[in-house]
Structure 1
Amino acid sequence: MSVSVWLSLVLVCMLGAMSPGPSLVVMVRHSLAGGRLHGIVAAWAHALGVGLYAVLTLLGLAVILQESPMVFKGIAYAGAAYLAWLGIKSIRANGGVAAKLEKGEKTTLLEAARDGAMISVLNPKLALFFLALFSQFVAIGTDITSRSIIVLTPIIIDGLWYTIVALVLSSSRMLEKLKQRAVLIDRLCGVVLIGLAARVVVAL
């Protein structure tokens, strides 16, 4: 794989990682409720989920997904249900940012890893992203080295991006400002997550 082709892959992966969506909402919640380490754990669990889609595309399973609407719809509905569940939880402040900050509680690392991984694995947008864009790079790189680079690139970029998000959100100055608006953040996160879930269902 040439450097120019790899840079194109990097650019595509950066755009995919930086686009706002449910993943960003989850990173915000865990960085605030749990702290820096929890945000970073959620970030790299999310990155591994992204890597799963990269591997599936590489193995050609993405083609099966594209040709099996029922399978894709199943993943999409499961993702929508999970988003809605997170949204309702956040609005009710049941384990949300406001509740945990008020009680001095933290989310566990396991919860952070679970939500980070699930929000990527059950996100149908990722499947579309890799089907539409990522697969073209798979066709270019056929040797083991190229394929390893193709899989590792989106994992590393996604993990680094959300690590930066976690570091920024968990800085003492930023955290103090956000703590004062914790209830509002809970409500907004909940509304965004439910809205994203509804959009997935409507689009099917």
Structure 2
Amino acid sequence: MTPTLLAFCGAALVLAMIPGPSTAVIVRQALRGGRRAALATIAANEVGLLFWALVAALGATALVEASEVAYDALRLAGAAVLVVLGVQSILGRPRAGGGELGSGAREPAAGGGWSAFRVGLLTILANPKAAVFAASFLPQFVPTGAPALPVLLVLALAWVAVDTAWYLALVLLLGRLQAAMAGGRARRTLEAISGVVLVALGARMVLERP
């Protein structure tokens, strides 16, 4: 089991490093809301990832994959979320508390963390590809003859742990980058870029088929 788990963790790390909706939303929340918003978004993303992984372990994601209506409903909802978040970033809507990621900077207002958590959770739960991918990714690492459900549960927890570690490292890097910025113009530019990326990801989600 140990070699399988190590191989799985390596694959999970590579997957986490590939930019996608979750990465774009976490970066967006970090730039707009600071460290607290970033951590809340990561926590929500991992709750959603664990949910899809557990659902995959139980075989229920096959229903999403098999039902065109369910898949399209999730796909369009997820696209709408990404586009709305992207437009807000492009237009520069006010931040919750105006927090910074840099050392010694002011944290966002009290409501920022919960708002960021909702955004992160909605993003991951409204991504049908996360559900379908979990169902196809996890079973590949179940050793022949091993009890499937316990192994899948261990893999699900390992996936969340690796994913969390990567995003925490990313937020730390963003914090160092933001601390080095002089004034808010560079941050505003990064925020606008993240908005464009989110809109593009939303548009792609609308246009692509399963």
CA contact (8 A) 2:34 2:99 kept: no
Rounded Cα–Cα distance in structure 1 between residues aligned with 2:83 and 2:142: 33
Counterpart Cα distance in 1 of 2:150 and 2:136: 23
Please identify which structure carries the higher helix content.
Answer: 1
The letter for the 2-side match of 1:203 is E
* Aligned positions of 1:13-52 closer than 5 A: 13-52=12-51
User: 1:45: Cα distance to partner?
Assistant: 1.4
Q: Per the alignment, do residues 32 and 101 of structure 1 end up closer, same or farther by CA in structure 2, a change over 3 Å counting? A: same
Structure 2: gaps spanning 5 or more residues: 101-105
Q: Give the structure 2 partner of residue 135 of structure 1.
A: 139
3-state SS, counterpart of residue 35 of structure 1: helix
Q: Is the 8 A contact 2:31 2:191 kept in 1?
A: no
Aligned position for 2:103: none
Alignment of 1:40-189 (within 5 A): 40-95=39-94, 100=98, 106=108, 108-137=112-141, 141-142=146-147, 145-171=150-176, 174-177=178-181, 179-189=184-194
TM-score, reference length from structure 1 = 0.85
Q: Post-superposition, which runs of at least 4 consecutive aligned residues in structure 1 deviate over 4 A? A: 138-141
Which residues of structure 1 form unaligned runs of 5+?
A: none
Q: 1:194 corresponds to which residue?
A: 199
Q: Deviations over 1:49-99 (max 9, x none)?
A: 1111101100100112221111111111110011111111111111359x9
> Structure 1's 143 and 68: CA in aligned 2 closer, same or farther, altered over 3 A?
closer
How many residues were matched structurally? 200
- What is the CA–CA distance in structure 2 between the aligned matches of 1:139 and 1:53, rounded to whole Å? 21
Query: Which amino acid in 2 is paired with 1:187?
Result: A
Amino acid in structure 2 at the alignment position of 1:137: F
Q: Aligned in 2, Cα 1:73/1:139: closer, same or farther, shift over 3 Å?
A: farther
Question: Is the alpha carbon distance of 1:121 and 1:95 closer, same or farther for their aligned partners in structure 2, counting shifts above 3 Å?
Answer: farther
RMSD between superposed Cα atoms in Å: 2.6
Aligned counterparts of 1:61 and 1:139: Cα–Cα separation in 2: 21
